[in-house]
Amino acid sequence: MSEQVAAEFHVYGYRWVVLAVFMLVNVTIQMLWISYAPITSLAAEYYGVSELAIGALAMSFMIAFIPLSLPAAWVIDTRGFLVAVGFGAVMMAVFGIARGLVGTNYTLVLLSTIGIAIAQPFLLDAWTKVPANWFAPDQRATAVGLVTLASMLGVALGMVLTPILADMMSIATLQLVYGLLAAATAVAFLALARERPATPPCPPGMDERALMLDGLKHALTVRPFLIMLGVAFIVMGAFNGVTTWVEQIIHPRGFSPTEAGVMGALMLLAGIVGAVVLSALSDRRGSRIRFLVIALVATVPGMLGIAFVSSIWLLYAFAAVLGFFLVAVLPLGMQYAAEITNPTPEGTSNGLIQLCGQVSVVYVYFMAALRTADGSFTVSLVLSAVLLAAGALVVSRLKDAAPAGESAVV
């Protein structure tokens, strides 16, 4: 590369500040999403509604994501992430505080939650846009990975802190605390985030791979990518189902809301480790399929363990195994999708996988419908294990990204 070309672009240290405040709003939105799951029975009694109604608070995020994902992506692409994420952060803060102020009125809590849910696509769809604007190409996967970990950390914090805070204060006050946290992170983002650095972080032409619409059309013609959309549905259905119903899954066996929160947090923390370790091994070995199959197969005993064990320590162990491998599937799958759909922009392929994962809200409802008379989720958990095993079998027939003109199916 000549000195003249090298002088035209530069990677700035301030990129870490932009990434940090973006990670903060992603941590917060996930805490707001999951904050009722570990205290479902307590919240049902507090608001005087059914446990399914409390589950609907979390599921509203998935429902809202489905129609809003592509419009949010369009805003990010045409107006920039600063406008889109700024809008989402403000919505998150306003409705987060509102949810804490409406007291014991479930209807107003639901409406406020829908307001927060509307904000979520404007944050999640920008996961690849922020790194694209600020980071060199060989640093973007790391940046996207850090945002993914921030999202998982938000879920883990919500799982652990919510039952603890619920013992110290009312649920309305707890939600107000989370709303004030959302306001603080929104202010930090608006004050510190910038759309672009003074000069681009890469040579011309490396910031985009194709126009969004053309890339979308191309991705939907790639058969292995369509298979990965199905895998995303199964994986996110299992993940969202377990996190949404975490307390109700283990309550029939005598476990407490606090133990449910710890179980959920262990699952997420192990998932953070798994995502880092398996992604690094995948990069080192130059293989995605091998590690996708390993991860999918290993989720099966973890899922069966949380369905049947009655020892708290075994429950924690199986939850950690499930989280370690289940969470790792998403970044591995996104990277594989980006490689097999080239020249589709990474944001488009990742956005489609996120969208398909959110459609799994129907599976979350289905899990509730399969509950037995005594409240057990055993049937749906066993079904999840079977679907994950089937996903591993189908993925094992794929091969890693091939040179142009070669098929990705064996």
Specify whether the CB–CB gap between 351 and 69 falls below 8 A: yes
Claim to verify: residue 286 and residue 382 sit in the same structural domain: yes
Claim to verify: residue 193 and residue 141 sit in the same structural domain: yes
Burial of 358 (0-12, 13-18, 19+ CB in 10 A): buried
Range of the domain at 406: 210-410
What is d(CA 214, CA 48) in angstroms, rounded to the nearest whole number?
50
Q: Which residue has the tokens 């959309």?
A: 229
408 phi/psi in degrees, rounded to 5: -95, 10
Residues in the chain: 410
- Omega cis (within 30) before 38: no
Claim to verify: residue 243 and residue 295 sit in the same structural domain: yes
Residue 409 is predicted with a pLDDT of 46
Q: Which residue has the tokens 């903060």?
A: 24
Claim to verify: residue 346 and residue 240 sit in the same structural domain: yes
User: Per-residue confidence of the chain (410 residues) as pLDDT tens digits?
Assistant: 444 444 466 677 888 999 999 999 999 999 999 899 888 889 999 999 988 899 889 888 888 888 888 788 778 877 888 999 999 999 999 999 999 999 889 999 999 999 999 999 899 888 777 877 887 766 666 677 778 778 888 887 888 899 889 999 999 999 999 999 999 999 999 999 998 887 766 655 545 554 556 666 777 788 888 998 899 889 988 988 888 788 888 888 888 888 887 888 888 889 888 887 887 788 778 788 999 999 999 999 999 999 999 899 999 999 999 999 998 888 788 778 877 887 766 666 767 777 777 777 788 878 888 888 888 898 999 999 999 999 999 999 998 875 444 444 44
Residues 6+ apart with CB under 8 A from 175: 35, 96, 99, 100, 109
Claim to verify: residue 283 and residue 300 sit in the same structural domain: yes
Residue 169: Cβ within 10 Å count: 12
- The residue among 267, 255, 245 whose CA lies nearest residue 38 is 245
Q: Please identify, among 207, 223, 241, the residue that sits at the C-terminal boundary of a domain.
A: 207
Specify whether the CB–CB gap between 245 and 375 falls below 8 A: no
Claim to verify: residue 187 and residue 216 sit in the same structural domain: no
Q: Please identify, among 185, 207, 229, the residue that sits at the C-terminal boundary of a domain.
A: 207
Q: Which residue has the tokens 């794929």?
A: 398
What is d(CA 294, CA 38) in angstroms, rounded to the nearest whole number?
29
What is d(CA 302, CA 296) in angstroms, rounded to the nearest whole number?
10
The per-type count for the chain, helices as H runs and strands as E runs, is 18, 0
Claim to verify: residue 98 and residue 161 sit in the same structural domain: yes
Burial of 4 (0-12, 13-18, 19+ CB in 10 A): exposed
Residue 406 is predicted with a pLDDT of 44
Residue 98: Cβ within 10 Å count: 19
The CATH number for 367's domain is: 1.20.1250.20
Claim to verify: residue 280 and residue 332 sit in the same structural domain: yes
Residue 408 is predicted with a pLDDT of 47
Residue 41 is predicted with a pLDDT of 85
Claim to verify: residue 391 and residue 355 sit in the same structural domain: yes
Residue 266 is predicted with a pLDDT of 87
Residue 221: Cβ within 10 Å count: 10
The SS3 assignment for 409 reads strand
Claim to verify: residue 189 and residue 277 sit in the same structural domain: no
Tally of structural domains, the chain: 2
Which pair of tokens denotes residue 154?
A: 């938000």
What is d(CA 325, CA 291) in angstroms, rounded to the nearest whole number?
10
Residue 204 is predicted with a pLDDT of 55
409 phi/psi in degrees, rounded to 5: -115, 130
The SS3 assignment for 184 reads helix
Residue 347 is predicted with a pLDDT of 62
Q: Please identify, among 157, 178, 207, the residue that sits at the C-terminal boundary of a domain.
A: 207
Claim to verify: residue 97 and residue 178 sit in the same structural domain: yes
Specify whether the CB–CB gap between 159 and 31 falls below 8 A: no
- The residue among 352, 293, 283 whose CA lies nearest residue 140 is 283
Per the DSSP assignment, residues forming a β-bridge with 409 are 398
